[in-house]
Amino acid sequence: MRRLLGLGDNTVDLYLTTGLMYPGGNAVNVAALSARLGETASYLGVVGQDAPGDLVLRALRHEGVDVTRCRQVPGSTSWSKVVHRGTDRTFTGSDLGVSTRWELTLDDFDFVSAHDVTHVSLYSGLNDLLPRIREAAPRLSFDFSSEWTDAHLEDVAPLLDVAFLSAAEHDERGCVELARRVERLGARVVVVTRGEHGALAVTGGEPTFVAAEPADVVDTLGAGDAFIAAFLNVWLDRGDLPSALRAGAREAARNCATLGAFGHGTPITPDGDLVFAEDPGLRNAR
């Protein structure tokens, strides 16, 4: 049995202040960062036949992630524009490109079944297929990020073994109430990350807390995905929430010292002009 599959979203994060692009996307990052922890990891998604698509696949192969079932098709790879203010970042635009233009085959579902846990995100564009993915996956993890809706929680939570939400703007009591609500909807374990305020997990209605670890912050992008990768692998090994939360907090802090979600920064290349020709902001960033 393989360990973890990241399924769905990918992107290149375009750092406008430095003219570099980094491979990213929640499902990509969780797979790559899981492999860095020494675990067997795979990624399944769709990238374009362009320089950003080459970057995503090259970086994943370098990290030891199995990408043998990925599609590389005509069209643009998904991109997100990122502007940094100090060590924090703001997303200022994005395009899904070809990342959601695919259909999962029977062989893909067999591939899902071969992994201990499949991780999907709000941005994977697979909501309609989640019931079928749930049937195939021994365990299903989902990242709602900070952009969930009540309707989305009600539709997806009943399918999940682990639900992740980001709620840095909520106080502790509000996060516990949120986690308990998602658990009542059906998720087996609910994890709420709160940035510098730490994180908590709820199962059986009972919350477990962890403080944020001290960090040398260079770039916060990818910290939440590092938390997810570490949490899932420890949870799979031990089923122990305190240990999983501590591992998540540790890896999130460590990831803050990395530019991009897991490095591999590459100049926005002349080939990028073919993809981003209509965006003067990107041309000027080079």
Distance in angstroms (rounded) separating the CA atoms of residues 2 and 244: 20
pLDDT of 282 > 70? The answer is: no
Does the predicted TM-score (pTM) go above 0.75?
Answer: yes
User: β-strand 20-24 against 11-15: which pairing, if any?
Assistant: antiparallel
Residue 286's pLDDT band, with cuts at 50, 70 and 90, is very low
User: What class is the 3-267 domain?
Assistant: alpha beta
Distance in angstroms (rounded) separating the CA atoms of residues 150 and 242: 28
pLDDT of 102 > 60? The answer is: yes
Q: How many CA atoms lie within 13 A of 236 on its CB side?
A: 22
The stretch 39-67 carries a mean pLDDT of 97
Choose between 140 and 16: higher pLDDT.
140
pLDDT confidence of residue 268: 87
| 88-95 sheet: strands from edge to edge | 88-95, 79-85, 11-15, 20-24, 266-267
Residue 271's pLDDT band, with cuts at 50, 70 and 90, is low
Residue 206's pLDDT band, with cuts at 50, 70 and 90, is very high
pLDDT confidence of residue 211: 97
Q: How many CA atoms lie within 13 A of 1 on its CB side?
A: 11
Kindly state the tokens that stand for 70.
């990925």
Sign of the torsion formed by the C-alpha atoms of 113, 115, 117 and 121 = negative
pLDDT confidence of residue 274: 43
pLDDT confidence of residue 93: 87
